[in-house]
Structure 1
């Protein structure tokens, strides 16, 4: 399905999915393909943080393991 807009979780423009449960437009990072629902709905069902779908709890951006100054 082709959708357009911003991810309703992280506000990124790369929206590829619509949640079957609540209708949110979400990016790949915030979509559970197995259940076809967004990370916010997964959080409501299972608990956790919708902004951290990987459950790592780190505040680092994607692909960054070490900060160097």
Structure 2
């Protein structure tokens, strides 16, 4: 999928994917390709998931 703009999570890297769940534009650091979800949706989908398992960086 072709997307343009900045990642809506880190707001610093170019977005390369769009979350299948919420439509958020995400860079590869904040997108779980196997699930088709942004890091925020991955964290919500599995609240027990250790934060080390999701590569989320907030600034």
Which band: TM-score by shorter chain? Answer: 0.7 to 0.9
Question: Which runs of 5 or more residues in structure 1 are unaligned?
Answer: 56-69
The higher radius of gyration belongs to 1
- State the alpha-carbon separation in 1 of the partners of residues 13 and 5 from structure 2: 6
- Normalised to the residue count of structure 1, the TM-score between the two structures is 0.66
Larger % of helix: which? 2
Q: Which runs of 5+ in 2 are unaligned?
A: none
**Which structure ranks higher in relative contact order (CA pairs < 8 Å, sequence separation ≥ 6)?**
2
Point out 4+ residue stretches in structure 1 off by more than 3 angstroms: none
Q: Quote the RMSD (CA, aligned, Å).
A: 2.0
**TM-score, L = length of structure 2:** 0.76
